Amino acid sequence: MFNESKASQQLRKLEKHLQQENPILSEVVQNFRELDRISRRLGFFEREQSHATATPWWPLISILGIYSAGKSSFINSLLQYDLQAVGIQAVDDKFSVICFSREKKPRVLPGLALDADPRFPLYRISQAIDEVAEGEHIDAYLQLKTCPSEKLRGKILIDSPGFDADAQRTSTLRITDHIIDLSDLVLVFFDARHPESGSMRDTLEHLVKATINRRDSNKFLYILNQIDVTAKEDNLEEVFAAWQRALAQYGLTAGCSYAIYNLDAAVPFEDQDVRERFEAKRRADMEAINNRIEQVGVERAYRIIGMLEQTARMLKNEVVPLLQRFIESWRRKVLWVEGGLLAALVALFFTLTIWGGYWQGLSLNLPFAQLFTHHPYLRYALIAVLLMAAGWTHLRIRRWAARKTTAKLIKEVRNENHRENYNRAFRRNSRWWRSLLFPQPAGWTGRTAAILDRILDDGNAYIQKLNDLYTNPSGADAVESSNAGHDAAGSIPVDTANWPDKPQST
């Protein structure tokens, strides 16, 4: 396609992929394309920006916790594939983004593969890393792993390095916070061998205390892993209670907490009754965890539609009103300054001519006036010079007023990531060809407002379509409706093997 932007290419590929996997979200891509066009007309976006890249389109599950908490073993068991290296000490010191591939052999790709592809989480994360760790390469923090496990199809996992290692590195914490914000589900692992030790202090501080007041705190699952080590003492309840008390000290008095262990690596159970009791606990908690994991596809679909509505409302209720305030304030400054300057010039003219004695009653007799009367070209030249001076002065006043107004209004923008966008939109609306007579922002018309209203209506319609897939208030054909919902809008496969321009393995 001729002169197609990279952002447009990505949306076209995404839309094509979703047409087969999730037709509802494929329609949502079209709405995001409309929002991008509106943002570019307003000057809020440049050519390569897109609202659709603000969040991953694939369900994202993050697995965080301390070293030796059994995260890697849990991932291997979940995928039914030996992907992650297992060890007591630190095995992997990078964040690993794990996605499905049809290739039989798993691959390890550099962090650049994530940073440059908007379809993945952590897109352009290198900018955030550079802010806190200037000069450090993204490959030191991130890597992409592909895996042929069918259990991974339609999901993306992020495995963190042991959280307490290098806990003071600001860049590591920044990535962790970014991952938490993007995730649909966050599994926080603890080691049952040390339920009250200081080894989990940093985990409690950052992953419990800092998250309990979040609006999306229900996406956090707290997991006490490797509880089989308590089998000989037969004190599972005591260990679990001690761990919950440690969580409660950091404010977590309610929520989803589980106790599990890896069957393949479990310590021998000498007492059959103890074994049955432990396995019953593990079976119930693993079932609950797996149910939440299977629901992330559904939750992600609702979240993307919610992001569509949020973006449309942001443009209508935040961006456009702030641009209108900018234009009004900018126009007022220009008119007041030019009016004051004109009044000063008129006062100066009368002062000088009266002081010079050029007034005879109400008649003004200026020297050299006859020269301009007898030589019209001099008169035209003088008019041209005056017009050029007036135009130059007008442009300088416009620029000054724009800088003053921008500096004042940009402080009201809470989202720092949007400040450059507002700066760009302000500049677009104060260009030299923009007349002071136009009170509306560039690109904002009644038709544009109608498009945003329609997109908001479309968002409600998409929610209803998802509800039709996943709910059935009438109770009719419940089984058939449930199966249809799972097939039509459940998980979204991520097939890196067939993606164009896939990075080569390291």
pLDDT in tens, 274-286: 888 889 999 999 9
CA separation for the pair 153, 79 (Å, rounded): 10
246 vs 339, which has greater pLDDT? 339
**From 3.90.226.10, 3.40.50.300, 3.40.50.10950, 3.50.50.60, which CATH number describes the 56-294 domain?**
3.40.50.300
Instruction: Identify the CA nearest to 410 among candidates 398, 400, 425.
Output: 425
pLDDT at 1: 43
Encoded tokens for 204: 């409690």
Q: How confident is the model at residue 314 (pLDDT cuts 50, 70, 90)?
A: very high
- The arrangement of strands across the sheet holding 95-100 comes to 107-110, 142-147, 95-100, 156-159, 60-65, 185-191, 220-225, 256-259
pLDDT tier at 480 (50, 70, 90 boundaries)?
Answer: very low
Mean pLDDT of 342-371: 81
pLDDT single digits (tens) 74-86 = 988 888 888 877 6
Q: Give the chain's mean pLDDT.
A: 80
**pLDDT tens track for 207-225:** 777 677 777 778 889 999 8
Dmax (CA) for the chain in angstroms is 122
Banded model confidence at residue 87, pLDDT cuts 50, 70, 90 = low
Q: Name the β-bridge partners of 259.
A: 224
pLDDT interval class at 102 (50, 70, 90): confident
> What is the pTM assigned to this prediction?
0.70
pLDDT recorded at residue 287? 94
**What's the pLDDT score for residue 198?**
52
Q: What angle do CA 168, 59, 88 make, to 5 degrees?
A: 45
The tens digit of pLDDT for each residue in 143-154 reads 889 999 988 887
DSSP bridge pairs for 188: 64, 222
Question: CA 186, 95, 89 angle in degrees (round to 5)?
Answer: 100
Query: Where does the chain hold its CATH 3.40.50.300 domain(s)?
Result: 56-294
Asked if the model's pLDDT at residue 488 lies above 50, the reply is: no
pLDDT top residue among 12 and 311: 311
Range in 196-205, 295-304, 359-368, 424-433 the model is least confident about? 196-205
Are 488 and 22 in contact by the 8 Å Cβ rule? The answer is yes
